[in-house]
Amino acid sequence: MKGHVTERSPGKWAIVIDIYDDAGKRRRKWHTFHTTSKRKAEEECARLISELRGGMYVEPSKVTVAQHLDRWLDHMKSQITPRTYERYCEIARKNIVPLIGSIALTKLRPIQISDAYTKALATGKRKGGGGLAPTTVVYMHRLIKHSLAQAVRWEMLNRNPADAVSPPKVERSTLNTFDMPQTAELIEGLRGTRLFIPVLLGVLCGLRRGEIVALRWRNVDLVGGGMSIVESAEQTNEGVRYKPPKSGRGRAVALSATVVEELRQHRLKQAEDLLRLGIRQDETTFVYAREDGLPIQPRSLTQAWMKAIQDSKLPRIRFHDLRHAHATHLLSSGVHPKVASERLGHSRVGITLDLYSHVLPGMQENAASRVDDALRLELEKRASKGVR
């Protein structure tokens, strides 16, 4: 098996690979490769020969969408988090491949992608029948578009057919949260249970689930009344991994007097419980941990929350919605969105304003009323002095 390269025109090379069968008969495979460097063309020639020898070679014209997605997922694995990679694989292999996976990559057209979205919305569910949610189909669209963009960069396609397709429109759902009376009822209802501290950190500090189960005592300052959020736990099929927070950087969260006092009592009780097991609490101990001090998985916190909320009379909301409740309480109390954004760990204040726009109309009315009151007071002062 041999190969050579020939420049057909500036920036366009022909890669010719000679293949000999057992009888010594030769046949040739031709490839077009776009580059201004002869060395890169020769490297591509060597790569193709290596794939042929290893049995991994697929004719460019015969590469299917499914095969391309597998190659693209392998390419992306080192560039995204393990949990994101698992989600990519799930969407690609369970939602995209059954619809367009058998189509040759070079034969894929915008109408086929559009028809796939229509079918997914109508009958895309694998279990129980029915269609996929528009948000899932939008996720499908992003993966298809990104993977095909890579195919263009790999010079497997001349253009991206997904560029000509629009995903379905997603209507924003209303955030479900607890108001202040419900928050008070929740806190009192869980007092004395193992779920009390994580719920307190969610609804009064705005921490995410992964940040709560990753929080250690070394990051909590009960004297200064603050804590540093520097780590988050991520649940994957391989187990739990610890990584920086979602925004990519840590943040400081001030603690109210109520939270400081509850954490102080919790730390003392935790130390006593661990000591009975012969375990010494230290700065590396997790704030919310198992009875033996070992870390709790994020999904275990979710399961505990679901059971607790089902047994209560409060509205059924997700554990993550406690964070939304905290944000709503902050903004409704007049806290500046920039401060709320920093406390919640959003990468920019626009995310905060966008997520909690439902709170802003009341804030604007209050602001307008304050300006009006200030102006009226000033006018009254001028009138009392006889100034016009």
Other residues' Cβ atoms within 10 Å of the Cβ of residue 380? 10
> What are 133-136's contacts with CB under 8 Å, separation 24+?
134/167, 134/168, 134/169, 134/170, 134/171, 135/170, 136/91, 136/95
* Contact predicate 229/253, CB 8 Å: yes
CA neighbor of 231 nearest in space, from 242, 220, 219, 217: 242
Local structure of 221: helix, strand or coil: strand
**Cβ proximity of 112 and 100 under 8 Å:** yes
Which stretches does DSSP call E strand in the chain? 2-9, 12-20, 26-34, 220-221, 226-229, 232-236, 239-243, 251-254
Distance CA 103, CA 69 (A): 12
Tell me how far apart the alpha carbons of residues 116 and 100 are, in angstroms, rounded to a whole number: 7
Q: Within 13 Å, how many C-alpha atoms sit on residue 104's CB side?
A: 7
Q: What is the mean pLDDT of each run of 10 residues along the chain (388 residues)?
A: 85 86 79 86 87 72 89 92 92 94 92 95 82 93 96 86 92 80 92 94 93 96 94 88 82 92 96 95 95 93 94 91 87 80 79 64 58 77 72
228, β-bridge pairs: 252
**Residue whose C-alpha is closest to residue 337's, from 365, 366, 359:** 359
Q: pTM for the full model?
A: 0.69
| Under 8 Å between Cβ of 334 and 363 | yes
State residue 370's pLDDT score: 65
Residue 104 contacts residue 49 (beta carbons within 8 Å): no
Residues belonging to the chain: 388
- DSSP string for residues in 121-135: HHH--SSSSSPPPHH
Q: Is residue 327 a contact partner of residue 340, using CB atoms and an 8 Å limit?
A: yes
Q: Produce one character per residue of 29-38: b if its CB has 16 or more CB atoms within 10 Å, e if not.
A: bebebebeee
What local confidence, expressed as pLDDT, does residue 334 receive? 76
Q: Rounded distance, CA 220 to CA 242, Å?
A: 18
Provide the sign of the torsion angle of the four alpha carbons 280, 281, 284, 285, taken in this order.
positive
- Count CB neighbours of 294 within 10 A: 11
Describe the strand order of the beta sheet including 26-34 as a list of residue ranges: 2-9, 12-20, 26-34
- Which pLDDT value is given to residue 134? 92
Structure tokens at 247: 């925004």
